Structure 1
C-alpha cells in the first residue's frame, strides 16, 4: 500500500518534503514544503493538499502522478499560524490554524488548485491549562455522516463545535463543552452515526459523545482512559482510529510511548480498555503521532515523530490486540502524518 508521509519538527530546523513509502521502503521524496503536518487527497485522488505548520500557515495543492510523483499546482496563505489539518469536502478545503485559532475555508478550482480564503472563522475562549490553553486551538475538521455538517474539536477552549455547511461555508450550529482542561484533539465517528469518540490531549482520555445526525445535536456520554491505572507521568494522546468492523478504537500516547486498544461496547456507547502496548520505556523517544490501517485491516501503521520512523503492527482480527510484527521500520525524519493512496 503506497503511503504519503508528512513530517513535522518542533526544533529550530523544520522538517521539509513529503515522502512516499511502499513495501517497507522509501520510493520518493517530493517538494520542499516546510513542516507538511497533515495531508489530504481530493475525491479523485489526483490532487494532494498539504498543511504547512509554519509561523505563517499555508496550504499547498499538488498534482499526483500515476507513480505517486507530486507536481506543485499552487499554494495559498491561511491567514493564520500553525496550520495543522486539512479536509477536502463539499468542493472546498478546510484548514485549521492551531496557533492563531481559526478554521478557514478555501474554494477548489476545476484543476484542483486553491482559490484565496473564502471564509475565516475565529474561535474564542481559553481553558485552565496555563501551558496549552491560553487561547483557542482548533485541531481538526471532520464531516458528520450526513456530509451536511462538520465538527471541530478545540484543544484550547475544551469545546467541540458543530458547523452546518451552507454552500461550503461554516454556519455555527451547536457545541458541547467536554470538561475543563480536557484539550479535545481528534475525533472519529462510529459507523452508526449516533456515536463519536474524541481523544483528549491534556487528560489522556477518550470522550464518548452521542450525536443525532438528523438534527446535529451533540452530548457527552462517558469516557475511557488511554493509560493504565497508576501512570501519572506527562502524556499527550495524539491520533485515534477505529477498526473497520467498529469493534475497537486505537489511540497513540506520546510521552507514555504506547498504543492503547479500547473495545467498543453497548452498541457504540461505551469504551473499555483491553490493551496498552509500550513502544519504549524512554520518555519522548518515539513520539507516536499518527495511525492508519492498511486495506486488509490486519496491519496498523504508526508514524513515530521523534524516532523518525514508520512501523507496522499486526492486529489480531478476533481480539483486536496489537503486536509488533518484526517488520523493519522505514526511516522518515519527523514522520507525523500517514495517508494511503
Structure 2
C-alpha cells in the first residue's frame, strides 16, 4: 500500500500573481560539476529568450518533467550505488523569480534511466531504462518531493535489427488522455507495450501490446487531441507510425507508417521527437543526420499523414523540440551545435520559419515550455 503522503494537498500555487509567464526548462548532457538544467523566460510575442537560472550537481540530466501547478521540476540523473550505475530523480522547487532549489533526490532503476514522464495527476513519475530494458514507477509525495520506486517492469526479447535491437530498449512512456494506461515505446522490441496504470495501489499491470513494422524502433509517442490516434516516431528506420487507440481497453491497432525523410536523401539518420499542434491539424518530427524538422498534415477523418515540408533545424542532431503552449513557436534543441533555435509557427498552415533567434546551451537534449 502507498502512504497517505502520495496524495497531493489541493492548493493554488502560481509563479506570478500577474499574467502567466512562458518559461522554458532545458535538460542537457553534463558532468555533475557543470550546469545541467536551465530555466529561461520566453517572450511569447517576439520569441526572445533570457536565462533565469541554471542548476548543477547532476550527471546527464537529459530529460525533465514539469508540474506547473505545484511549481516543481523533475530531472533524471545518473549516479552510482555500491559501485554500480543507477538512475535517480531530482526534484526542484521553482520560486517566483524562476530560480531552482533542490528539494530532494531518490534512486530509481538500474543501470540508468533515459526518460521521465509525470502521470496526469502529478502523483507519480515513470522512468524508462533504455540500457536495462526496464520501466519504473516512482511515487511523488504530497509536498512534491520524490518518493520511492514502488513498481518495476522488466521487458524481454529482441527486435529485427541485430545491432540496435539485440535486447529491450524502453525509450519513453506516454499516459493515455484519461490516465488509465501507461504506454511504453520499446525501441528494442518494435513494440508499444500498454500497462494498466493502477494509481491507488501504485502498480503498472500488463494490458496489451502492439507492434511497429520490423526494424522501426519506436522512440517517442504523441496522442492526437481527439484521443483516438497515437503516433510513434521510430528511431531506427526513420519513420512515423499511426495507431488507432481504443479508450476502453487501451488497445492499439497499426494503421499506417510513413518515412520522415525526403525521397532523395540517402545519408544516415535517426529520428528523435514527435509533437502535434494543439488544433490537431499538424504533426512535427525531428531527424538527426538530415538535421531537419518535418511537418505533416493530419487527415481529420483517418489520422493519416501527408508530408508538408522539411526545414533545417539550424543545428546538428536535433534530439528534442517542443511547441510552445500557445502554438506560436517551436524550439529545437540541437545537441551537437549547443544551440536552441526558435521557429515561428504560421497560423493556419502550421509552417515553420526560423526567427533568427538562438540560445547557446551546452549539449541541450530536452526543452519543456510551460505557462507559469
Name the TM-score, length of structure 1 as normaliser.
Answer: 0.93
Distance between the aligned counterparts of 1:240 and 1:53, measured in 2?
25
SS in 1 for 2:63: strand
In the TM superposition, residue 31 of structure 1 has moved relative to its aligned partner by: 2.9
Distance between the aligned counterparts of 1:129 and 1:15, measured in 2?
36
Show CA shifts across 1:74-127 (max 9, x none): 212223123121122242111111111111011111221122211110111111
Distance between the aligned counterparts of 2:52 and 2:145, measured in 1?
25
Q: Is the 8 A contact 2:92 2:101 kept in 1?
A: yes
Change (3 A) 1:292 1:112: same
Q: Following superposition of structure 1 onto structure 2, how do residues 159-198 of structure 1 map, counting pairs within 5 Å?
A: 159-166=191-198, 167=200, 168-198=202-232
Which of these residues, 48, 53, 58, is aligned with residue 28 of structure 1? 53
Q: Is the 8 A contact 1:160 1:176 kept in 2?
A: yes
Q: Gapped runs of 5+ residues in structure 1?
A: none
SS in 2 for 1:181: coil
Moved more, 125-134 or 244-253: 125-134
Name the TM-score, length of structure 2 as normaliser.
Answer: 0.85
Aligned-residue RMSD, C-alpha: 1.8
Show CA shifts across 1:247-282 (max 9, x none): 1001010011111001101425200111011346xx
The residue that corresponds to 2:309 in the other structure is 275
Q: Which runs of 4+ in 1 moved over 3 A?
A: 12-16
SS in 2 for 1:36: coil
Q: Is the 8 A contact 1:150 1:164 kept in 2?
A: yes
The residue that corresponds to 1:336 in the other structure is 365
Distance between the aligned counterparts of 2:109 and 2:138, measured in 1?
11
Q: Is the 8 A contact 2:275 2:322 kept in 1?
A: yes
Change (3 A) 1:13 1:172: same
Moved more, 127-136 or 214-223: 127-136
Show CA shifts across 1:157-177 (max 9, x none): 111011111223100001011
The residue that corresponds to 1:152 in the other structure is 184
Q: Is the 8 A contact 1:190 1:268 kept in 2?
A: no
Which of these residues, 31, 38, 52, is aligned with residue 63 of structure 2? 38
Q: Is the 8 A contact 1:36 1:52 kept in 2?
A: yes
SS in 2 for 1:49: strand
Change (3 A) 1:135 1:53: farther
Quick check: 1:290 aligned with 2:329? no
In the TM superposition, residue 205 of structure 1 has moved relative to its aligned partner by: 0.7
In the TM superposition, residue 193 of structure 1 has moved relative to its aligned partner by: 1.0
Distance between the aligned counterparts of 1:321 and 1:74, measured in 2?
41
Q: Is the 8 A contact 2:296 2:306 kept in 1?
A: yes
Show CA shifts across 1:211-247 (max 9, x none): 1101211110001210010212111110111011111
Moved more, 53-62 or 220-229: 53-62
Moved more, 35-44 or 98-107: 35-44
